[in-house]
Amino acid sequence: AQSVTQLDSQVPVFEEAPVELRCNYSSSVSVYLFWYVQYPNQGLQLLLKYLSGSTLVESINGFEAEFNKSQTSFHLRKPSVHISDTAEYFCAVSAGIRGGAQKLVFGQGTRLTINP
């Protein structure tokens, strides 16, 4: 069965500092990996995803994540954060289920707090 572990429940950083949010997964099949962001009292929005090909994937707002098969990791990074990046971030792995549907298995979430 697939599982996801986000190693940090909270990450406080100063504005314009770099940040890394760690995610490790376990899966017995080929993986599709996702990072979602959730702002307070809102739904989740897709940040980026890895399906195949280049192991480095990027989002439009400066985040990037690297798929590392040997370490079963998909860490999220940003070289310089802004106050507006304050949110909760979820890593997820896609598992195939009955009828070809998709089940997302989520990590516990990492709350990123940006301090001025």
Partner 1 sequence: DGGITQSPKYLFRKEGQNVTLSCEQNLNHDAMYWYRQDPGQGLRLIYYSQIVNDFQKGDIAEGYSVSREKKESFPLTVTSAQKNPTAFYLCASSRSGRSDTQYFGPGTRLTVL
Residue 76 binds partner 1, judged by CB under 8 A: no
Please give the DSSP secondary-structure letter assigned to residue 7: S
Which one of 54, 70, 101, 116 is in contact with partner 1 (CB under 8 A)? Answer: 101
C-alpha 35/C-alpha 45 separation (Å) is 9
Give CA–CA dist 96/32, Å, rounded.
Answer: 10
Please state, in angstroms and rounded to a whole number, the distance separating the CA atoms of residues 4 and 27.
9
* Cβ neighbours around 1 below 10 Å, total: 7
When asked if residue 95 is in the footprint of partner 1 (CB under 8 A), the reply is yes
**Shorter beta-carbon distance to partner 1: residue 77 or 111:** 111
CB-nearer residue toward partner 1: 19 or 95: 95
Site for partner 1 contains 96 (CB under 8 A)? yes
Q: Binding-site residue total for partner 1 (CB under 8 A)?
A: 29
Is 3 a binder of partner 1 (CB under 8 A)? no
Q: For partner 1, give the closer residue by CB, 43 or 116.
A: 43
Residue closer to partner 1, measured from CB, 109 or 112:
109
Q: What is the C-alpha to C-alpha distance for residues 111 and 13, in angstroms, rounded to an integer?
A: 11
Q: Which of residues 37-56 bind partner 1 (CB under 8 A)?
A: 41-46, 49, 51
* DSSP code at position 98: G
